[in-house]
Structure formats: C-alpha cells, structure tokens
C-alpha cells in the first residue's frame, strides 16, 4: 500500500477560498498555504476595513490554517506578500514585525493587481516533527 503523497489541510476557521483549490496542502514535512486575503471565514467575502485591519484578518486566516495542520507562525519558512499598493510597505512591515515571531522567515513582497482587497499572503511552513525527512538520504 502506497502512502498518500499529499494531503489537504482545511478548517472552518478560515475562508473556504474562491476557486478550485484547497486552503493548504501538506507534503511530507512541508505545508503550502494557498494565498489568503482579508476574507471573513463566515461569509467568504472581503472584510471592510483599513489596510491594517485587512493585514491582521489575513494573518488570522493564515494562523487558522496553520493551526489545522498542527503548526503556528513560528513554523513558517517562507512568506510571499502581494500588496495592491507598494506605498503600503512601511505599514505592512510594522504589522509584520509585530505578528511574525523571530527568527523571521524568508520573504518576497510584490505589488499585484488584487481585486477588492489590499493584501494577499501565502506561506510555506515546516512541520518540526517531520523535518528530519527533508534531510534523510
């Protein structure tokens, strides 16, 4: 019997998404989150709020999905951030440094043509009890 190569991670504590993709996929010790934005878990619609409120809601969604995988922000190795306006980088950085535990993960940040939201974030996390599999020969 062959072990399943990848498994889907999902939770009702985060929005379901707006397309044919899971909230996250676990492959061995790695967990890949699909892009998360400032959507309400209850309505799957964008929240109405300031840039800071959108960033915080997005991180709450990321944390909820990581939690469903048995992980937290401290397990994140890579973050990709998409902003609708690159001028929001300083404010994003202040929030990011407050929310992300040290040591900070690798990060890419780009301006993107987002529809109806100001931020989207995807992450790659590493499950600490399975990370040895990455280095097995």
Sequence spans of domains, the chain? 12-130
pLDDT at 133 over 60: no
Whether the CB-CB separation of 66 and 109 falls below 8 Å is answered with: no
**E strands along 1-137, which residues?**
7-9, 24-27, 30-33, 76-83, 106-111, 119-126
* Residues linked to residue 119 through DSSP beta bridges, in sequence order: 83
Which of 31, 117, 47 minimizes the C-alpha distance to 79?
31
pLDDT at 137 over 60: no
Question: What distance in Å separates the CA atoms of residue 80 and residue 35, rounded to the nearest whole number?
Answer: 9
pLDDT, position 18: 78
Q: ∠104-120-117 over CA atoms, to 5°? A: 140
Does the pTM of the predicted model rise above 0.85? yes
12-130: CATH, from 3.30.365.10, 3.30.1330.40, 3.90.1150.10, 3.30.565.10: 3.30.1330.40
pLDDT, position 3: 52
Question: What distance in Å separates the CA atoms of residue 136 and residue 88, rounded to the nearest whole number?
Answer: 42
pLDDT at 48 over 60: yes
* Residues linked to residue 72 through DSSP beta bridges, in sequence order: none
Q: What is the mean pLDDT of residues 38-47?
A: 95
Whether the CB-CB separation of 64 and 11 falls below 8 Å is answered with: yes
26/132: higher pLDDT: 26
pLDDT at 136 over 90: no
pLDDT digits (tens, 9 = 90+) for 82-131: 999 999 999 999 999 999 999 999 999 999 999 999 999 999 999 887 76
Which of 136, 134, 110 minimizes the C-alpha distance to 121?
110
Helix, strand or coil for residue 39? strand
């Amino acid at each position: 019997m062959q072990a399943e190569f990848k498994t889907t991670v999902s939770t009702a504590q985060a929005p379901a998404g707006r397309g044919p993709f899971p909230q996250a996929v676990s492959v061995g010790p790695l967990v890949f989150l699909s892009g998360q934005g400032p959507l309400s878990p209850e309505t799957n619609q964008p929240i109405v709020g300031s840039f800071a409120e959108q960033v915080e809601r997005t991180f709450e969604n990321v944390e909820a999905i990581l939690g469903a995988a048995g992980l937290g922000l401290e397990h994140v190795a890579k973050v990709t951030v998409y902003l609708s306006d690159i001028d929001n980088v300083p404010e994003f950085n202040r929030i990011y440094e407050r929310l992300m535990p040290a040591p900070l993960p690798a990060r890419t940040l780009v301006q993107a043509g987002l529809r109806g939201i100001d931020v989207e974030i995807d992450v790659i996390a590493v499950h600490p009890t399975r990370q040895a599999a990455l280095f097995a020969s």
